Chains A and B, each alone.
Chain A
Amino acid sequence: MAFDIILVVLLLGVAMWTVAAPDTFTAVVGFVVFGLLLALAWMRLAAPDVALTESALGSGLTGGLLLGASTLLARSAAPAPSEEPGSSLRLAAAALCALVSAGLAALVLLLPEPAPTLAPQAMANIAATGLGNPVTAVLMAFRAIDTLLEVVVLLLALVGIWSLAPDRLWGGLPGRRRRADPNGLLTFIAQILVPVGILVGIYIFWIGSVAPGGEFQGATILAAMWVLAAMAGLVDAPPVSGRRLRLMLAAGPAVFFTIGLAGFATAGAFLAYPEPHAKLLILTIEVPLTLSIAATLALLVAGPPERASER
């Protein structure tokens, strides 16, 4: 109990600090710390799946993206005084945020006791999916449409980042070229950590069917390993117009959508699986989906094309 209270006070403190931070970099650091503390809070609420996702995606990957954005912002010219938000705009934003927070708090406090839940239904029907982890069953079977849409949103975000490239670099290579230093520290850690990380990523994905884990968490680790190797200069990003890359990005959502459509014929509904083959079909979706998510996340970090393709 004391631990939980300290955790909540810390969370609120870090949140306030992040909002009040004087510069972008400090705010991003606060955001990452907040994410890690939040993951701890999810663990205390016995939700390890959410905790894994929060620490990998929410804190790690989003933190990395924000860090990159803050570096870009620092490099660009400071905004003109007319572009700075005025105090009335700031006050309005603060009031709206406070309103949303108050509304959410009221909703949580007004929930009947015990709170309405679909967990018993999910547990009752989990055998039909052939999975052992109810969270994965919800994500891949009961609410598969949400997962499909999430993956499509990720892909759209990547297209949005790519479209920041100037016309002459369209279809080029993302990020700067990094030269590998054979005796460098980054090379050393990339060579040791990447094989281990790939193994851990595949394990987290695979274990997701029976225990906390899954394709998003596993894919984040795989993407992080690629980013590490790329930072060390050991691998280079392919041109964003490359056919194999495009295929890898699209394979997951495409397979997901195709099997979803086939559900009309085999099980009578979109994204429904015929019962005896449910687990096999879910696995058929998950493998390309994990690869697609990993490629998408890695390229999100790599950023818009900055070098022309050689061809």
Chain B
Amino acid sequence: MTLTLNLLSVLAVGAGAFFFLAGTVGLLRFPDPLSRLHALTKADNLGLGFIVFGLLLHATGLLAAMKLIGVWLLTLLAGATVSQLIAGIAPSTGEEE
């Protein structure tokens, strides 16, 4: 049982780390602000979501689990809003080199 839990945990956190890596690569490599934001929000939403899920399996109680979920939800809210705000002022045609 513990082994399965640990394995799931490692898999979930690993998947989260992968999304963060992919998001960072996207942020650095994508050509225009909107695609960069797209890459970034994937890291926040999915990456952090997977990491929180992986940690949830080891949460010490209901309160700790709810705090973890709260952190994820707040980050989702902040990330979604801030990226919309940035997208609102970013030039939509891409950058002139």
Q: Does B85 contact A (CB under 8 A)?
A: yes
Q: Does B66 contact A (CB under 8 A)?
A: no
Q: Does A46 contact B (CB under 8 A)?
A: no
Count CB-based A-B contacts (< 8 Å). Answer: 15
- Smallest distance from the beta carbon of B43 to chain A beta carbons, Å? 16
**Which residues of chain B are within 8 angstroms of A193 by Cβ–Cβ distance?**
74, 77-78
CB atoms of A188 and B81 under 8 A apart:
yes
Q: Does A16 contact B (CB under 8 A)?
A: no
**Which residues of chain B are within 8 angstroms of A188 by Cβ–Cβ distance?**
81
Q: Chain B 56-97, CB within 8 Å of chain A: the 1/0 string?
A: 000000000000000000100110010011001000000000
Q: Which residue of A lies closest to B87 (CB)?
A: A185
**Which residues of chain B are within 8 angstroms of A185 by Cβ–Cβ distance?**
81, 84-85, 88
**Restricting to B11-70, which residues have a CB under 8 Å from any CB of A?**
none
**Which residues of chain A are within 8 angstroms of B88 by Cβ–Cβ distance?**
185
Roughly how many angstroms separate A169 CA and B78 CA in the complex, as a whole number?
35
Chain B facing A: main interface SS: helix
Roughly how many angstroms separate A189 CA and B76 CA in the complex, as a whole number?
11
**Restricting to A188-212, which residues have a CB under 8 Å from any CB of B?**
188-189, 192-193, 196
- How many A residues touch the partner, as a band? under 10
**Which residues of chain A are within 8 angstroms of B85 by Cβ–Cβ distance?**
185-186
Q: Chain A 100-137, CB within 8 Å of chain B: the 1/0 string?
A: 00000000000000000000000000000000000000
Roughly how many angstroms separate A186 CA and B77 CA in the complex, as a whole number?
11
Roughly how many angstroms separate A246 CA and B33 CA in the complex, as a whole number?
44
Q: Which residue of A lies closest to B82 (CB)?
A: A189
**Which residues of chain B are within 8 angstroms of A186 by Cβ–Cβ distance?**
81, 85
- Smallest distance from the beta carbon of A197 to chain B beta carbons, Å? 9
- Smallest distance from the beta carbon of B54 to chain A beta carbons, Å? 17
Roughly how many angstroms separate A193 CA and B80 CA in the complex, as a whole number?
13
CB atoms of B74 and A189 under 8 A apart:
no
Q: Which residue of A lies closest to B88 (CB)?
A: A185
Q: Which residue of B lies closest to A190 (CB)?
A: B81
- Smallest distance from the beta carbon of B84 to chain A beta carbons, Å? 5
CB atoms of A196 and B84 under 8 A apart:
no
Q: Chain A 163-200, CB within 8 Å of chain B: the 1/0 string?
A: 00000000000000000000001101100110010000
Roughly how many angstroms separate A130 CA and B81 CA in the complex, as a whole number?
42
Roughly how many angstroms separate A196 CA and B74 CA in the complex, as a whole number?
9
**Which residues of chain A are within 8 angstroms of B74 by Cβ–Cβ distance?**
193, 196
CB atoms of A192 and B84 under 8 A apart:
no
Roughly how many angstroms separate A196 CA and B77 CA in the complex, as a whole number?
12
Roughly how many angstroms separate A186 CA and B82 CA in the complex, as a whole number?
9
Roughly how many angstroms separate A188 CA and B80 CA in the complex, as a whole number?
12
**Restricting to A254-280, which residues have a CB under 8 Å from any CB of B?**
none
**Which residues of chain A are within 8 angstroms of B81 by Cβ–Cβ distance?**
185-186, 188-189
- Smallest distance from the beta carbon of A194 to chain B beta carbons, Å? 12
Q: Known pairs A189-B81, A192-B77, A196-B74; list 12 more (Cβ under 8 Å).
A: A185-B81, A185-B84, A185-B85, A185-B88, A186-B81, A186-B85, A188-B81, A189-B77, A189-B78, A193-B74, A193-B77, A193-B78
Interface residues of A (CB under 8 A from B): 185-186, 188-189, 192-193, 196
A-B interface, 3 closest residue pairs, ranked by CB to CB distance from nearest: A189-B81, A185-B84, A185-B81
15 A-B pairs with C-beta separation under 8 A: A185-B81, A185-B84, A185-B85, A185-B88, A186-B81, A186-B85, A188-B81, A189-B77, A189-B78, A189-B81, A192-B77, A193-B74, A193-B77, A193-B78, A196-B74
